[in-house]
Structure 1
Amino acid sequence: MSDLNLLSSVLVLVLISVYLHQSSSASFIPADNYLIACGSSHNITFLTQIYVPDSIQSSFDLKTQQDSNIVQSKSTVPLPIHQSARIFTAISTYTFNIRKQGRHWIRLHFYPIPEHNLSSSSFTVVTENFVLLNSDSFKSYNGSKFISKEYSINVTSNILLLNFIPSNNSIAFINAIEVVSVPDELIPDQANRLSQSSSISGLSELAFETVYRLNMGGPKLTPQNDTLGRIWENDEKYLHVNSSAANVSITPSLVKYPENLTPEIAPNWVYATGQTLGDAKVTNLNFNITWVFPVDPDFTYFVRVHFCDIVSTSLNTLVFNLYINSDSAFSDLDLSSFTGNLDVPVYRDFVTNSTDSNTLTVSVGPEIDAEDPNAILNGLEILKISNGAKSFDGADPVVDLVVSPAKKKKIWVVLAAVLGAVVAVVVIVSVVCYRYIAGRGSKPKPDQMKPWLPHSITITNKSTISLTSCNLGKTFSFQEIMDATNKFDESLLLGVGGFGRVYKGTMEDGTIVAIKRGNPRSEQGLAEFRTEIEMLSKLRHRHLVSLIGYCDERSEMILVYEFMANGPLRSHLYGTDLPSLSWKQRLEICIGAARGLHYLHTGASQSVIHRDVKTTNILLDENFVAKVADFGLSKAGPTFDQTHVSTAVKGSFGYLDPEYFRRQQLTEKSDVYSFGVVLMEVLCARPALNPVLPRDQVNIAEWGLKWQKNGNLDQIIDEKLVGKVNSSSLKKYGETMEKCLAEYGVDRPSMGDVLWNLEYALQLEETSALVEVDDNSMNHIEGIKLSPLEVFDNSVSMIDGDDEFRRGNNGDDGSTSNVFSQLVHPRGR
């Protein structure tokens, strides 16, 4: 009996130990925990947390250059913490005493109380080192909305200064503030950088802004369900394949945390629910679940994915793929290999950029050969990473916005140093001027004079790019660029990409141009900028957007292009109120783009693969002549002894060559596939991907090919073309498009063949009164000889560029080319 009692005692001790271990791991107590109700006269309880009035300043201090004001709302407010606000008319600072240095959350709550017209406020919020929020981002919120911002900052001193800086003749306000310690290990120092297939270090020193935090397949979680007081949204409004995804869940207590993962990473409620593909025995699982998030394209993002296998009945059966944007984050991901058990959480971190459509996408999909073809995602966090100026909002650093008291004390020291430097400069300038005047008549010898020739492009300090050694046309001063764009007026903005922004500009002589201003702090943009420069310095063609000149001042990366008055092709197909294009116009536009791509593939000493062919990168001038643009992702094609170029997958979802995506082997046929998607988009006037449609219609290429192969292509064409397209022309167009979208590159035509057949489709449209084309006409795609293309090819020779360029520009782009003279009447063939 004594042995039995001893055994019972041991079991009790073990259970108590396990319980204490779990409790301790789930009960993080923050050293700093400031919850401030600004402008309130009493404590406010919100989500079981007590917010203290900012008039009680025991552990923090509020200093203002002028008296602050307090306002109260007399109507219903969204949340209790929005009942009051403190208003500032001058720079004001909250100073928080920090008990434990390290990573902290700063949460700011704003509600523009309608009775006091706070929605017109314009101000900036900064710490000692980081710009959190500027006036422009707040102006988009009106009196009926509220905003809560959450930042993660590594505090390295014993105080934290939170400055509110009103803009000129405006005010700043705040409803509530939270400054809370969090575990330092919440943000790692290193993560995988997807676009470069490498790791990035130093993250622990950066600041982060929470953009999205989602509980997949589960309810919204509040601070009551989270040991760190976080809010986890439900994912449904970001889910773009919701007709096929299935929610799964288990009891949260069944989640088994491993030793190296605690509820501070994510609560068990997150791991207890998830989105899956559904029942493999019932449904066809050949699809991905995709979430799409609008983001600021000028920033890099930290993405954390949370997994927990709550669907399998045995180990090593759930194997799937994870994609972030167009990058493969995980291929053949087997959760069991990480966890060794079911119902065990695991998470992984990545760093990525947005796509050129200002979105960030996350997808999970099945590994087709898996025993249980399914996939799961339980939770997701997307954090914006501070840029090179230590800002989350613009390119201005803190030092340009506010001067701290410590810096003010040093002003006289700095002034003394400056005065000393001025005296020294005056002396040096005097000596230089004397020597210059003395030797003014001399000139350099002939052997000292060097011609200005194009050389390789150099990148310095990872943030600037030198263009002075590139023969890129006219040099513009930065002031000329500023004048042309009215100081980069946002009303002149034409588009935004990974490189930066494109503005419409008017030069001093009245010439209208497009001005691309690169973002010097974006490594992705810098790489794309360099690639575009390298390509444009050696490519010239009527159907490629031309470079006019550049600006190389103040570490700016600015290129000036010809202005394309009718903008991107996509704008004329859907999504705008622009007049519809006729079938003939669409054919001519496709032919122009095909000519530009054909030149890229064949016109230079080494082929160039565009790698981002899509309707937004085909621009139209005032005469609707199509020109291919945006060479930021372009890459030199394989040499004569190569079949492909091995490279990381880049491009745009919906246009990506599936063979290139699977094998990471790039060829000119990858552009052909993307162009096939463009042809389908031109015909049907709908996006390449439309996740809100039924599953079999999401991808335009897959959907359209089914109709084409069934001989019913005319059933899905743009309704504005119904009854206005010659059947023979449509048939030739459809056959060409089908060949472009072949699964394997070897089965696709070259761009020269595509061009030939599109010209033929145009001739059939123009001669629609004549006999129908015979069924064997498709033989031209695979068997056509390219020599006739020389008759109308208006590409530019790299050697005799001037003559060739004049010849190409004098050609009639819209007229019938000589190669088709025998087709004026089909019987002539």
Structure 2
Amino acid sequence: MKSANWLVLVLAVILLEFLSWRTEALFTPTDNYLIVCGSSQNVTFQGRTFVPDLLLSSLSLKSESTSYVATSNSSVPSSLYQSARIFSGVASYKFNIKQEGRHWIRLYFYPFPKSGHDLLSAPITVVADDFVLLNNFTFENYNGSFLFEYAINVTSATLMLTFIPWNNSVSFVNAIEVVSIPDAVLPDQALALNSSAPVSSLSESALETVYRLNMGGPLITAQNDTLGRTWENDSKYLHVSSSAVNLSVNPASIKYTDSITQETAPNRVYATAVAMGDANVPSMNSKVTWVFPVDSNFRYLVRAHFCDILSQSLNAMVFNLYINDDIAVPSLDLSTLTGKLNLPYYKDFISKSSAESGTLTVSIGPDSAVDITNATLNGLEIMKISNDAGSLDGLSSAANLLPKSLSKKNRIPVIIGSLVGAVAAVALIGFCCCCMPILKSKVTNHGHPMLPLRLYGNFRTMTKISATSQKSGRASCISLASSNLGRFFTFREILNATNKFDETLLLGVGGFGRVYKGALEDGTKVAVKRGNHRSEQGLAEFQTEIEMLSKLRHRHLVSLIGYSDERSEMILVYEYMANGPLRSHLYGTNLPSLSWKQRLEICIGAARGLHYLHTSAARSIIHRDVKTTNILLDENFIAKVADFGLSKTGPELDQTHVSTAVKGSFGYLDPEYFRRQQLTEKSDVYSFGVVLMEVLCSRPALSPGLPREQVNIAEWAMSWQKKGMLEQIMDSNLVGKVNPASLKKYGETAEKCLAEHGIDRPSMGDILWNLEYALQLEETSSALMEPEDNSMNHIPTIQFTSLEPFDNSVSLINVGNSGIDDDGKDSATSSAFSQLVNPSGR
């Protein structure tokens, strides 16, 4: 009897502790506005009840508006989108706030197709107090419903949410949430990766949730998150799906602490994870990487969630966390940080996108300092941080967008400040004009080591001043005074050629910098690439590009005419390619579609250029960034490979690879190189295989907005190629216009290029033979018999161009030679190369 009583007592204590834990864990928001706009009745959505906007006494709406309710048979996504509030003028919702502090603002949109208004093209601008949430956003290029989530710090007794129509259009919204957030959920400071210093006062900024992922687990909706958040599955953002495996445990096994609760993330997030996969090649250089397209003009708060649900004992999980190219956390030891298994942990960082790709990447990989070849990640949140204008969309501030009567800020100080700033700027310019001749005179006549004034920015992080340049008073990024580097241009010549970098002459913007169309004094058209001084990587690429192209001459490589490094500038001058990058002729522009024959000829030209790089010297040159934007077309659509800033000299004769950090563009990266950091010529072959599929399908290498199986063109196209149905995904402009035999050979060639392991891929020479064969098949009668096998070997019945040497190619020039071909008759040394020996050059 006593033992029974004791058992009941123990169960009672356990139950009380459980109920106490549940009470502490569940958060009840002080402010909890869930409103459905335009409706006359409550709507239940994901387990929560939304109340009509006009029935709340603590909410007021000031506007010229109409309500729209979809008919019962309308195909709306859910009941929450059954109605909308449509505004023909400026409209404001005023929320009474009981407790100051951070609040979620969630906006729901569904552009009804039959509402009497063109909601798809209606420009949506939304301002919350002093923050711009949306600015002229339209739904024209999107389908379905939309949820935007923001976090702002409300510092008064009211929150004003204003919708501003533009251009005689309307604005609209279907539902709104304004909900309190616990103080501890979002940080006030986080570590900035590039500076290794914390960024403080984040509570003064607005945040927008752009990605929130449940790694290795299913979709988690608002009804399963105490703060109403949505967590999507991570699989469509994985760079290489085979690099990861999914793990899961019972959510009840997750143990929270006082500092990390269900409000940090639901236990369902910590109960699933992604760990290292592809057990065929376990390596310390392996990584699992997720790729996220982002706006490169903003900073991002990145929160990584961890929980060791994999290990059987402590100290069995030590790994590195990477964000872009930075090691965010080296030797992350979860056991030391938590002291237990199944115990959550998270870390916050501030980062920006990769300048070249416009993406933000997060990776996990083993730590080379320990003998553990595994890593794990449970959840990830990426939130955009408002800029100096208080905007999350563009550069306009709330004060500039709101009508004067609604702006919370007094505009008079702004106007006065602007006038004072303008007067100061004029005075500074006048001072510089007066002083510059004196400074120049001092430097020229007396050898004073004073550097010239910079055109813009602070270049201290990248400018290297040699002893020679100190004596001459000229700052130089690197020592380039070598006779084999082509013509040296003065900065004045560059300014004249580009009309002072006229923006109307801008051809494109890349990771290295901006490219302008220009004309030299003799009328030769050129492309002028002006480097971005804010990047150390730009300095390395500038030097590599000059060193590589000064030794390379080939009809299918873009020719370097010269360079300029005056005034700490990094400027490269190339031959002008009138038809621009190949990608522009495949998608994203209104240019005429390329014929199949044109596409084959372009691919053949690019293959010749790459084959020359791989075979024309004792040590090959690996391009390392083969993609459709780096294949340029001249006025005759002759293809030339460009951008050698990431190029690398290949392995020695007695070596199989070069061990080097991974560089390149996501979507084109060789997965074997990515895992092992072992670079070979076959890495270029894989990238070229992606280009072949891109040329056939006329779509990007990565399309994160598509269904999971279609995101990566290499995986998607290969699945159709293996079914022998490549014609199902080809560019619609080519349907019915391609010889089936030609398409078959082309598909086989691309398939070989995209083999998982480099040893199974063909050489660029083999690829060239087969592409030329595909072209021959296209040019012959459709009755021509198809090849009987899938071999990548040359078919002897077809006449091909000789590979050794290529037409119009020049052998690799040894360092110390003049930089031009010994045979002056080579057609590659045309008008472009006449500039190399221009007497006005150095």
Shorter-chain TM-score: which interval?
0.5 to 0.7
Residues 479-494 of structure 1 correspond to what in structure 2 (within 5 A)?
481=502
Relative to 1, partners in 2 of residues 1:133 and 1:284: Cα closer, same or farther, differing over 3 Å?
A: same
What does residue 255 of structure 1 align with?
254
CA distance in 1, matches of 2:379, 2:660: 31
> Quick one: distance in 2 between partners of 1:535 and 1:715?
30
In the other structure, the counterpart of 1:396 is: 396
SS of the residue 1:163 aligns to: strand
| Structure 1 position 59 matched with structure 2 position 58 | yes
Q: Give the equivalent residue in structure 2 for 1:129.
A: 130
- CA distance in 2 between counterparts of 1:577 and 1:384 reads 39
Q: What CA distance in whole angstroms lies between the structure 1 residues aligned with 2:94 and 2:462? A: 40
Q: Any idea what SS the aligned residue of 1:126 has?
A: strand
Partner of 2:146: 147
State, as a whole percentage, how many aligned pairs show the same letter: 46
Once the two structures are TM-superposed, the CA of residue 37 in structure 1 deviates from its matched residue by 1.6
Deviation at 1:111, TM superposition (A): 0.9
Secondary structure of residue in 1 paired with 2:804: helix
Q: What CA distance in whole angstroms lies between the structure 2 residues aligned with 1:30 and 1:390?
A: 26
- Quickly say closer, same or farther: Cα 1:591–1:399, change in 2 above 3 A: farther
User: For residue 312 of structure 2, what is the aligned residue in structure 1?
Assistant: 313
> How far 1:108 moved relative to its partner?
0.7
Q: Is 1:705 the counterpart of 2:759 in the alignment?
A: yes
Distance 2:164 2:513 in 1: 27
Check the 8 A contact 1:322/1:329 in 2, yes or no.
yes
Would the aligned equivalents of 2:461 and 2:536 in 1 still touch at CA under 8 Å? no
Q: Name the counterpart of 1:101.
A: 100
| CA pair 457-762 structure 1, distance change in 2 beyond 3 A | farther
Q: Which position in structure 2 is the counterpart of 1:385?
A: 385
TM norm structure 1: 0.65
Distance 1:510 1:423, change over 3 A: closer
What letter matches 2:578 in structure 1? A
* Cα offsets for 1:568-588 (capped at 9, x unmatched): 467899998554579997676
Cα offset for 1:172? 0.9
For residue 225 of structure 1, report the CA deviation from its aligned partner: 0.8
The answer to whether the aligner puts 1:273 opposite 2:272 as a matched pair is yes
Provide Cα deviations, 1:725-775, integer angstroms capped at 9, x if missing partner.
9xxxx999xxxxxxxxxxxxxxxxxxxxxxxxxxx97326779xxxxxxxx
SS of residue in 2 equivalent to 1:184: coil
Instruction: State the SS of the aligned residue for 2:803.
Output: helix
- Number of residue pairs the alignment of both structures matches: 711
Letter in 1 for 2:828: D
Q: Which residue of 1 is the match for residue 468 of structure 2?
A: none
Q: Which moved more, 1:8-17 or 1:317-326?
A: 8-17
Q: CA deviation at 1:55?
A: 1.8
Question: Map of 1:318-337 to 2, 5 A cutoff?
Answer: 318-320=317-319, 322-329=321-328, 333-337=332-336
Q: 2:714 aligns with which of 684, 690, 693?
A: 690
- Code of the aligned partner of 1:376: T
Q: Secondary structure at the match of 1:303?
A: strand
Q: 1:317 to 1:698 in 2, by over 3 A?
A: farther
| DSSP-derived class of the 1:253 partner | helix
Does structure 1 residue 198 correspond to structure 2 residue 196?
yes
Q: Secondary structure at 1:762's aligned position in 2?
A: coil
Which sits farther off after the overlay, 342-351 or 263-272? 342-351
CA contact (8 A) 1:796 1:808 kept: no
What are the Cα deviations for residues 176-196 of structure 1, in whole angstroms up to 9, with x where unaligned?
1111121233332444445x3
Residues 1:598 and 1:397: Cα distance change in structure 2 (over 3 Å):
farther
Task: Name the CA distance, whole Å, in 2 between partners of 1:98 and 1:164.
Answer: 19
Alpha-carbon distance in structure 1 between the residues aligned to 2:367 and 2:513: 36
Q: Which residue does the alignment assign to 1:219?
A: 218
SS in 1 for 2:38: coil
Answering whether residue 635 of structure 2 is matched by residue 622 of structure 1, we say yes
Q: Tell me if the contact between 1:274 and 1:377 (Cα under 8 Å) persists in the aligned partners.
A: yes
Structure 2, gaps ≥5 residues long: 464-473, 477-489, 565-569, 650-657, 702-711, 723-750, 779-786, 795-800, 831-842
Tell me how far apart the structure 1 counterparts of residues 260 and 225 of structure 2 sit (CA, whole Å). Answer: 15
Q: Report deviation, 1:210.
A: 1.4
Moved more, 401-410 or 155-164: 401-410
| 1-structure distance, mates of 2:155, 2:531 | 33
Q: Secondary structure at the match of 1:270?
A: helix
Structure 2 counterpart of 1:88, one-letter code: F
Structure 2 length-normalised TM: 0.65
2:690/2:713 contact within 8 Å kept: no
Conservation of the 8 A alpha-carbon contact between 2:94 and 2:158:
yes
| Cα distance in 1 for residues equivalent to 2:421 and 2:195 | 48
Give the deviation of 1:565 after TM superposition: 3.0
Q: Which residue of 2 aligns with 1:762?
A: 803
> Displacement of 1:162 after TM fit?
1.9
Listed one character per residue, the Cα deviations across residues 548-602 of structure 1 (whole Å, up to 9, x for unaligned) are 999xxxxxx9999865334346789999855457999767656757999999x99
Superposed counterparts of 1:661-672, under 5 Å: none
**Structure 1 107/462 Cα, relative in aligned 2: closer, same or farther at 3 Å?**
farther
- Residues in 1 aligned to 2:807 and 2:648: alpha-carbon distance in whole angstroms: 37
Distance 1:125 1:619 in 2: 41
User: Does structure 2 retain, via aligned residues, the 8 Å contact 1:456–1:469?
Assistant: no
> Is 1:813 aligned to residue 828 of structure 2?
yes
Residue in 1 that maps onto 2:181: 182
**Counterpart for residue 652 of structure 1:** 665
Task: Tell me the amino acid that sits aligned with residue 78 of structure 2.
Answer: L
Secondary structure of the corresponding residue to residue 20 of structure 2: helix
Residue identity opposite 1:257 in structure 2? Y
Q: CA RMSD in A?
A: 6.3
Q: 1:95-144, CA deviations, whole angstroms, 9 ceiling, x for partnerless residues?
A: 32333332221111111122323223123112333322122443323xx6
Q: Structure 1 residues 418 and 257 mapped into 2: Cα distance closer, same or farther (>3 Å)? A: closer
- After superposition, the C-alpha distances for 1:71-96 in whole angstroms (9 at most, x for unaligned) are 22114321222122222222222232
> What's the CA shift string for 1:133-162, capped at 9, x where partnerless?
122443323xx6211111122333433322
The one-letter code of the counterpart of 2:120 is: S
Contact 2:630 2:643 survives alignment (8 Å): yes
Shift of the 679–625 alpha-carbon distance from structure 1 to 2, 3 Å rule, reads same
**Per-residue deviation, residues 795-815 of structure 1 (Å, max 9, x unmatched):** 9999x9xxx789999852289
Name the CA distance, whole Å, in 1 between partners of 2:824 and 2:300: 44
Equivalent pair of 1:215/1:235 in contact (CA under 8 Å): yes
d(CA) in 1 for partners of 2:572, 2:70: 50
- Structure 1 partner of 2:774: 720
Name 1:33's counterpart in structure 2: 32
1:581-592 alignment, distance < 5 Å:
589=606
Deviation at 1:223, TM superposition (A): 1.6
Q: Which amino acid aligns with 2:714?
A: N
In the alignment, is the contact (CA less than 8 A) between 1:593 and 1:627 conserved in 2? no
Distance 1:317 1:181 in 2: 39
8 A Cα contact 2:607 2:767, kept in partner = no
Deviations 1:236-269 (A, max 9, x none): 4444655675443222111111332111111011
Q: Deviations over 1:186-232 (max 9, x none)?
A: 332444445x3734513443322212222233332122111101111
Answer yes or no: is 1:111 the counterpart of 2:99: no
CA distance in 1, matches of 2:59, 2:461: 41
How far apart are the structure 2 equivalents of 1:324 and 1:97? 40
Kept in 2, the 8 Å contact 1:458–1:465? The answer is no
Q: Is the 8 A contact 2:529 2:573 kept in 1?
A: yes
Residues 419, 706 of structure 1: alpha-carbon distance in 2 compared, 3 angstrom cutoff: closer
Residue 43 (structure 1) aligns with: 42
- In structure 2, the CA distance between the partners of 1:535 and 1:456, relative to structure 1 (3 Å rule), is farther
Q: What is the CA-CA distance between 1:391 and the residue it aligns to?
A: 2.7
Q: 1:73 to 1:516 in 2, by over 3 A?
A: farther
How far 1:345 sits from its partner (Å)? 1.8
Give the partner amino acid of 2:70.
Answer: S
Q: Name the CA shift for 1:22/1:417 in 2 (closer, same or farther; >3 Å).
A: closer
